[in-house]
Structure 1
Amino acid sequence: MIATFCQERGLKHQTRHVQAIWPNGKYETYRLHCFSDAASAEVFLDHFEGLMFDPRRDRENGKVRGVWRRIPVLA
């Protein structure tokens, strides 16, 4: 379904997996769909929902490999 959606819209992407670590020590595995530009990512998010991942911010400016340190969102 994702491959068809992207192909029909000409969205080139790569799929990666990352471990998310929460402050309480809980680990979760996320599947990331990576796009070369924010506009393509927005088209994908509008259809499938999800969370935006920014490697510069979420991987400590590229220093952390394979880990996404999550911080709770306060309401």
Structure 2
Amino acid sequence: MIANFCQEQGLKHQTRHVQAIWPNGKYEIYRLHCFNDAVSAEAFLDHFDGLRFDPRRDREHGKVRGVWRRTGEYTPVLDLGPLRVPEILRS
């Protein structure tokens, strides 16, 4: 669904992963869809919703292998626009 959307819209992106860690020690691996410009990223967010990630700000001061130190309380991401985690996989 994501690949089709990006191809139809002419959005060039790369997929990366980052480990997100909350203050209580909970962590998850997030898949990031990275765009070269803010307009492309905004078009993606308008369709799929999601969380904004800025590697310079969010990944331990831009470290290539740094983690995403989240703030606040952990809440699982189960719905992102048209994407949903199936009920059987929700814990």
Q: TM-score, normalised by structure 2?
A: 0.74
Q: Gaps (5+ residues) in structure 1? A: none
Query: How far 1:66 moved relative to its partner?
Result: 4.3
Query: 1:49 maps to which residue?
Result: 49
Q: Gaps (5+ residues) in structure 2? A: 74-91
| RMSD (Å), alpha carbons | 1.5
Query: How far 1:65 moved relative to its partner?
Result: 1.4
Alignment of 1:10-25 (within 5 A): 10-25=10-25
Alignment of 1:1-75 (within 5 A): 1-63=1-63, 65-72=65-72
Query: How far 1:55 moved relative to its partner?
Result: 0.5
Partner Cα distance (2:41, 2:53) in 1: 10
- The number of residues matched between the two structures is 73
The aligned amino acid for 1:27 is Y
Structure 1 residues 14 and 64: CA distance shift in structure 2, 3 A:
closer
Q: Which has the higher contact order (CA 8 A, sep 6+)?
A: 1
Is this contact kept in 1: 2:15–2:31, CA < 8 A? Answer: yes
Between the aligned residues of both structures, percent identity stands at 84
Partner Cα distance (2:44, 2:10) in 1: 11
